[in-house]
Amino acid sequence: EVKVVESGGGLVQPGGSLRLSCAASGFNFSNYNMNWVRQAPGKGLEWVSYISASSRTISYIDSVKGRFTISRDNAKNSLFLQMNSLRDEDTAVYYCARAPLGFSDHWGQGTLVTVSS
């Protein structure tokens, strides 16, 4: 069974940092691209970042460029999102998703990030 499980969310003050993790199982992680997608309270889905299987291609939405860093460890079947200089508007549920051809075919349950003083 394909499974992705996010962790690392929590409450952080504006300007602070968090590192989200995503543990993958049930598929050959090193062969798949991955996405991070978020949903702010009461809002729609927003794509955040993409990383190719080899980490050669990485993309971000403009609002997080220079603050967030996506990475992966194929040996440990893990995806990461390092979030620095967090802002109130980064408050959201963050989803990790497998992205075979860019679209997300398997999603986790999400991890909540709350940025508040």
Note the residues at the interface with another protein (CB under 8 A). 35, 37, 39, 44-47, 50, 59-62, 95, 97, 101-110
- Paired sense of beta strands 18-25 and 3-7, if any: antiparallel
- Paired sense of beta strands 18-25 and 78-83, if any: antiparallel
**Residue 16 or 110 with smaller CB distance to another protein:** 110
Q: Cβ 67 to another protein, closest distance in Å?
A: 15
Q: Cβ 17 to another protein, closest distance in Å?
A: 23
> What gap in Å lies between CA 87 and CA 73, rounded to an integer?
27
> What gap in Å lies between CA 59 and CA 85, rounded to an integer?
18
**Residue 12 or 32 with smaller CB distance to another protein:** 32
Q: Cβ 30 to another protein, closest distance in Å?
A: 21
Tokens, residue 17: 């940092």
